[in-house]
Chain A
Amino acid sequence: MRLLKAGTRAKCAVCDTEVMVVRAAPVEVQVTCGGVELIAMDGAKAPGAHVDAAAGQSALVGKRYVNAADVVELLCTKGGKGQLAVGGEPLSVKQAKPLPSSD
């Protein structure tokens, strides 16, 4: 359980998934990957498996994940095998509105 802050990065304790917080509400929430809580980037990996390995899809690099209320948004900066969730609610991929390239 911790306070999410835009720009903060975190990683999964068991798989390769890494994320960066893009947007968050100023409340404490639990962010998980495959049911296992994310840890700080310099935290030690724990041997083991996802609690919730069967559930849903993997995290894909470059995709942005949001909750249904669209308050929490995470950018997956490294792909992994677990499904991202906030407070037990699985996140879904945010659909991009393509803009013409401007630079």
Chain B
Amino acid sequence: MTLEMAAECHPQRIAVTSTDTRLTCAELLAAARAAALGIREAGVKYVGMLDINSPAVPIALFASAYAGVPYVPLNYRLTRGEIEALLARIAPALLITDEPVVAPLTLPPGITVMLRSEFQRRALSAAPTEISAPGEPRDAAIQLFTSGTTGKPKAAVLRHENLMSYVLGTVEFASAAEDDAILISVPPYHIAGISAVLSSIYAGRRMVQLPNFDAATWLQLCRDQKVTNAFVVPTMLSRIVDHLQLHPGDARMPSLRAIAYGGGKMPLAVIEQAMRLLPGVDFTNAYGLTETSSTICLLGPDDHRSGFGSADPLVRRRLSSVGKPVPTIELEVRGEAGEVLGPGQSGEVFVRGGQVAGEYLEQGSLLDTDGWFPTRDRGHVDEYGYVYLEGRADDVIVRGGENISPGEVEDVLLEHPAVSDAAVVAVPDRQWGESVGAVIVLRENAQATDAELQDWVRQRLRSSRVPTAIRYVDQLPFNEMGKVLRRVLKQQFADLKS
């Protein structure tokens, strides 16, 4: 429906540009309808997308809605076995993919493969059709497998009403200027990759796709395509900053007005450096989850600027906040007994609102009777209403009944001059049940001893926060979205013990 509105309002506006293709809103609509016919004829239960970003992504997303079948973008960076296991969970399905990705796979029964080039060719060359979408708001629109940093991927279900609520709550129709363009570098299987398509179409903003991120190409596209907006995950911004420090001339991007970031914790040093290198750009921190149809909290450009320049530590601290809930979302922090906590008190973040799906295929809805969803993120709200996150509830270290957030210990370790990166996880402890284990990446040519780091933490935090086990590594294990793989680190500590 959002696409029909866009095609009606500005049919000739460019909806998407990729390396060799550009589609207007009207062309995208026609392609989505044509592809939907094919999906209906195939009689499948899902449409899978196992591929990098290309015009086939928005076509398939809208075509699935027209066909009344959930769209399932899959992570092509997973291992063969992991991909095959996910495919088995969506059969019978039409799988849009590319030769190099699909060739090594042993496909489970019920998976019909269509190569991206063929899918695109058929959708774009078909005779016009006037089919309409079933338009059932309760129907599942998207099924997204969560990244599974803590366990087996779960199938999160997002219904049309959730996505619509998100779009209506955060974007004004046709609000983008004619020359607006957004650079999409997040992969299609990330919730931000999906919301970017929906928001851009609704706002009337041209999408420029970057299939495989690297900082130099990102900057090049920003200049060449006169990009005005972009969304990046912290790892990407960090690489852009590194590149700009080596090639300061590349910071000249006169059209770039705004960068939004999210998808993981942004190190303070990176965002401050980015603001220094790109003073003309508005930065927005967007906090959201797959289960909440993307963004639920925003820290806007004004808060970034006032925080950046401030001598007041309280205001400066806001740069590490995820901001305030968007107007259509209610947010509460609750304690262990479910009680609502006041300002400054840490607990689990709960949210409520139309865009909150909070539902998994296997487990059903996780919303309580009043519609509140437990995010499993720990955090607190300060007295001004700014939300601060402290890590995943599942990552909390319980030492003798005391809850320790890895984030607070990591922040202190990162302030040590010899430490370039740090991750803190629970390690088994005979006396306390669990205690703090730290994995440290030292700066080049820098040195630190266990005792030195332990002292550093003891002087700044309580003694219970002092790491009892410290390991030194060259690099932390990250998934491709920049999230630390804590379960890998935990396992490594466990292996050392045994």
Contact = CB atoms under 8 A, between A and B. Distances in A.
Interface of A: 6-9, 20, 22, 41, 61-64, 75, 77-79, 96-103
A79 B6 CA distance: 12
Contacts of A75: 168
Contact of A101 (B137, B173, B260): B260
A8 B161 CA distance: 10
A8 to B, nearest CB: 8
A7 B173 contact: no
Given A9-B135, A101-B260, A62 B174 contact: yes
A23 to B, nearest CB: 9
Given A99-B170, A100-B300, A78 B295 contact: no
A41 B132 CA distance: 10
Interface residues of B, number: 44
16 contacts: A6-B137, A6-B161, A9-B1, A62-B9, A62-B173, A64-B168, A97-B327, A98-B172, A99-B298, A99-B326, A99-B327, A100-B298, A100-B300, A100-B301, A101-B260, A102-B170
A100 B9 contact: no
Nearest to B193: A103
Contacts of A99: 170-171, 298, 300, 326-327
A102 B5 contact: no
B349 to A, nearest CB: 18
Interface of B: 1, 4-5, 8-9, 132, 135-138, 160-161, 164, 168, 170-175, 182, 192, 195-196, 199, 203, 205, 229, 231, 258, 260, 262, 282, 284, 286, 288, 294-295, 298, 300-301, 326-327, 354
Contacts of B9: 61-62
A78 B171 CA distance: 17
A6 to B, nearest CB: 7
Given A9-B135, A62-B173, A75-B168, A101 B199 contact: yes
Contact of A98 (B175, B192, B195, B196): B175
Most buried by B among A20, A61, A62: A62
A36 to B, nearest CB: 21
Contact of A22 (B138, B168, B172, B258): B168
A49 to B, nearest CB: 23
Contacts of B135: 7, 9, 41
Given A9-B135, A103-B260, A78 B5 contact: yes
Contacts of A97: 327
Given A99-B298, A102-B199, A103-B231, 18 more contacts: A7-B136, A7-B164, A9-B1, A20-B1, A41-B135, A61-B5, A77-B1, A77-B4, A77-B5, A98-B175, A99-B326, A100-B258, A100-B282, A101-B171, A101-B258, A102-B170, A102-B295, A103-B286
Nearest to B262: A102
Nearest to A78: B8
